[in-house]
Structure 1
Amino acid sequence: MAEEIDDNEFYRENFSADSDWEVFNAQLGELLQKWEVAVDVGVPLQPEELFRCKWHVKSETLNMLRNVIAVDYYEAQLPQGQQQAAEALVSNCLQRTNCHHDLMCSGNSFGPPIRNSSELHTLARIYGLRRFIVLHPVNAASNYMKSTSEFNFFLSAAAVVAAEVSSVVPIFVQIYDPKWNFYTGVALAPALRTNFRLIGLEQAPPECRYLMGLLTLFHDKLPASYAQDARVSVRNTYSLDAVRIRVPLYVPFAHGPSSEDIAIDGDVERLDVQQFYALPHGYAPESCTESYLVYTWPELSETVAFDSEMRTDFVPSKAPLGKIYLSVEASSYLSCCLRDYQAVGKVTRTLDSYVGRNFSGTRSGAEHTNPLDKLTEHKLTTRRQQQQNYELPSQSGLTKRLPGPMTASELAELLAYLFPDMHPELALFPYDKHSLKDKFDPMRIKSAVADSLVCRLSSLLSTCHAHLGGVEGMAQLWAVFTRQLRLLWDNSLSVPG
Structure 2
Amino acid sequence: MNNIEIEDTYHHDFTTASEWEVFIARLEEIIREWKLPRSKICSPLKKGDFINLSWEATSENVHFADVEFSLKHINLITPSDEAIQSSIEECEDKRSQCLMDALNSTNDFASLDQEHLNLAKYYGIREFIILSPAKEVAITDETRIKILLSSITIASNNSNCEVPMFVQVQEPWQSFYLGVSEGRGVCSHFDMVHLKKVPPYCKFLNGLLTLFKQKITEGCGIRLDPAMVSARFTYLLKDWTSSTWTQDPPDFDFMHGETLGVAELGKLPFGATFDPVGELILFTTWPEMPENVVVDSESYTDLEPQQAPEWSVQVKMTSSPACLLGEYLIDFIHLCSNQKTLFELLGDFVSYTEGDGQNLSSAFNALTESRVPALSTVVSKAAIKKTKPVEGPISEDILLPILYFLFPDAEDNPKQPYANANAYNVEDDQWKGVKTAAVDSLVWRLSIVAAHCAHNLGGAPALAHLWHEFVQEIRFRWERNILIPGIGSGFPDSVRTCLLHQKLQMLNCCIERKKVNEESLYKPQSMDIDDPDSDSDEEFFECTNEDSTESEDTGIKRQRKMKHSLWNRPTGRLAKHPVLKLLKTGGSLYLPVTQEPVPKTEDQLEEDAEVMMQLGTDQRASEMRARLMSASLLSDMESFKAANPGAVLEDFIRWYSPRDWIEEEGLDEWGQKNGHLSPRMMIPNNPWSNAWTSSQPVPAHRQKRLFDDTREAEKAIHYLTSQRLGQIAQLLLPVLMHAGLSTLNSQKQEALSNLPDVVQSILSKLQYATKPIHQKIKSYEEIAHDIEGIEALVAQANSLQRKLGGLNQTKEFTGFLVQLMREKEVPVPDALWEYVRSRITSMFYEAQKAAHMMTSVKNISDADSPRDGGNVGKFPAPFCKEFILRAIAPRPSGTSTPHPQRLYASLKRDHLRLAGLFSEDTIFF
What is the TM-score with the length of structure 1 in the denominator?
0.72
- Report what 1:449 is aligned to: 438
Are the structure 2 counterparts of residues 316 and 200 from structure 1 closer, same or farther at C-alpha, using a change threshold of 3 Å? closer
- Report the CA distance shift for 1:53/1:6 in structure 2 as closer, same or farther (over 3 A): closer
Paired AA for residue 37 in structure 2: A
- Residue correspondences, number: 449
Q: Which amino acid aligns with 2:255?
A: A
Contact 1:253 1:413 in 2 (8 A): no
Structure 1 residue 48, shift from structure 2 partner: 3.0
Q: 2:105 corresponds to which residue? A: 106
Match of 1:149 among 143, 154, 169: 143
Match of 2:210 in 1: 216
Q: Is the 8 A contact 1:75 1:131 kept in 2?
A: yes
- CA contact 1:416–1:422 (8 Å) conserved in 2: no
Structure 1 residue aligned with 2:302: 313
Q: 1:24 to 1:257 in 2, by over 3 A?
A: farther
Cα separation, 1, equivalents of 2:24 and 2:168? 17
Determine if contact 1:251/1:276 at 8 Å carries over to the other structure: no
Q: Superposition pairs for residues 38-117 of structure 1, below 5 Å?
A: 38=37, 40-78=40-78, 80=79, 83-84=82-83, 88-111=87-110, 117=113
Mapped to 1, the partners of 2:122 and 2:452 lie a distance apart of 48
Correspondence list, 1:334-349, <5 A = 334=323, 337=327, 340=330, 344=334, 347=337
The one-letter amino acid of 2:467's match is F
Q: Name the residue aligned to 1:28.
A: 27
State whether structure 2 residue 454 is matched by structure 1 residue 489. no
Shift of residue 350 of structure 1?
A: 1.9
Residue type at the aligned position of 1:7: E
Contact 1:448 1:455 in 2 (8 A): yes
Structure 1's 68 and 47: CA in aligned 2 closer, same or farther, altered over 3 A? same
Say whether residues 1:256 and 2:254 are aligned partners. no
Q: Counterparts of 1:342 and 1:138 in 2: how far apart (Å)?
A: 48
Aligned pairs (5 A) from 1:103-252: 103-111=102-110, 117-118=113-114, 121-140=117-136, 143-220=137-214, 221-222=216-217, 223-243=220-240, 245=246, 250-251=251-252
Aligned mates of 1:428, 1:240 — CA distance in 2: 50
Q: Which has the larger radius of gyration?
A: 2
CA distance in 2, matches of 1:428, 1:252: 23
Secondary structure of the 2:293 match is: coil
1:455–1:158 distance in 2 versus 1, CA, 3 Å: farther
Closer, same or farther in 2 for the Cα pair 1:445/1:328, shift >3 Å?
Answer: closer
Q: How far is the alpha carbon of 1:257 from its aligned partner? A: 5.7
Matched residue, 1:412: 399
Give the Cα separation in 2 of the matches to 1:134 and 1:414: 70
**Is the aligned partner of 1:281 residue 2:282?**
no
1:318-357 counterparts in 2 under 5 A?
318-328=307-317, 331=320, 333-334=322-323, 337=327, 340=330, 344=334, 347=337, 350-352=339-341, 355-356=344-345
CA gap 1:320/1:360 in 2 versus in 1, 3 angstroms: same
Cα shift at 1:312: 1.8
User: What amino acid maps onto 2:257 in structure 1?
Assistant: G
Distance 1:198 1:85 in 2: 36
Residue 57 of structure 2 contacts residue 73 of structure 2 at CA under 8 Å; is this kept in 1?
yes
Contact residue 205 and residue 296 of structure 2 kept, 8 A: yes
User: What is the deviation of 1:186?
Assistant: 1.4
Paired residue for 2:419?
433
Whole-Å separation in 2 of the counterparts to 1:297 and 1:197: 25
- Give the C-alpha shift of residue 227 in structure 1: 4.7
Give the Å deviation of 1:275: 10
User: How far apart are 1:176 and its partner, in Å?
Assistant: 0.8
1:43 and 1:85 in contact (8 A); partners too: no
Aligned-partner residue type, residue 124 of structure 2: G
| 1:97-154 residue CA offsets vs partner (Å, 9 max, x unmatched) | 2222211111112235x8xx458832122112222222222332xx211111221232
Equivalent residue, structure 2, for 1:303: 292
Q: After the TM superposition, which of the residue ranges 273-282 and 171-180 deviates more from structure 2?
A: 273-282
**Aligned-partner residue type, residue 51 of structure 1:** I
In structure 1, what is the Cα distance between the partners aligned to 2:353 and 2:304? Answer: 80
Q: Does the C-alpha gap of structure 1 residues 62 and 473 become closer, same or farther in structure 2, counting only changes over 3 Å?
A: farther
1:344, 1:235 → 2: CA distance?
Answer: 50
SS at match of 2:226: coil
| Paired position in structure 1 for 2:547 | none
**Residue 437 of structure 1: CA displacement?**
0.8
Contact 1:252–1:278 at 8 Å: present in 2 too? no
Structure 1 residue matching 2:440: 3-state secondary structure: coil
Aligned amino acid, residue 317 of structure 2: V
Structure 2: which amino acid aligns with 1:312? T
Query: Aligned partners of 1:449, 1:152: CA distance in 2, in Å?
Result: 76
Q: Aligned partners of 2:232 and 2:306: how far apart in 1?
A: 13
Structure 1 residues 443-482: aligned runs within 5 Å: 443-459=432-448, 467=455, 473-474=459-460, 476-478=462-464, 480-482=466-468
| Structure 2 length-normalised TM | 0.42
Residues 409-430 of structure 1 show CA distances to partners (whole Å, capped at 9, x for unaligned) of: 79838945962638979x9983
1:254 partner letter: M
Q: Which residue of 2 aligns with 1:371?
A: none
1:280–1:150 CA distance, 2 compared to 1 (3 A): farther
The 1-side partners of 2:238 and 2:165 are apart by 40
Change (3 A) 1:120 1:357: same
Question: Does structure 2 conserve the Cα–Cα contact (< 8 Å) formed by 1:38 and 1:167?
Answer: yes
Deviation readout 1:140-176 (Å, 9 max, x if unpaired): 2xx2111112212322222222233333322211111
Name the aligned partner's letter for residue 117 of structure 2: H
CA distance in 1, matches of 2:415, 2:254: 9
SS in 1 for 2:284: strand
Q: By how many angstroms is 1:60 displaced?
A: 3.5
Q: Identical aligned pairs, as a percentage? A: 23
Mapped to 2, the partners of 1:174 and 1:339 lie a distance apart of 49
- Unmatched 5+ residue regions in structure 1? 261-272, 368-382
Give, in whole Å, the separation in 2 of the partners of 1:491 and 1:247. Answer: 43
Q: Give the Cα separation in 1 of the matches to 2:7 and 2:200.
A: 68
Q: Distance in 1 between matches of 2:335 and 2:153?
A: 61
Please tell me whether the aligned partners of residues 371 and 410 of structure 2 are also in contact (alpha carbons under 8 angstroms).
no
Deviation for aligned residue 1:197:
0.9
- Contact 1:42 1:83 (C-alpha < 8 Å) held by counterparts: no
**Cα distance in structure 1, aligned partners of 2:285 and 2:259:** 45
Give 1:125's aligned amino acid: K
| 2:55 partner letter | W
Is contact 1:252-1:428 (8 Å) kept? no
Contact 1:234/1:297, CA 8 A, preserved across alignment: yes
Larger relative contact order (C-alpha < 8 A, sep ≥ 6)?
2
For 1:177, the aligned partner's letter is E
Q: Deviations over 1:27-65 (max 9, x none)?
A: 333433343333535221112321233333333333443
Of Structure 1 and Structure 2, the greater helix share is in 2
Partners in 2 of 1:279 and 1:438 — Cα distance?
Answer: 24
Cα offset for 1:214?
A: 2.1
* Cα drift, residue 494 of structure 1: 3.9
Q: SS where residue 157 of structure 1 aligns? A: helix
8 Å contact kept, 1:124–1:130: yes
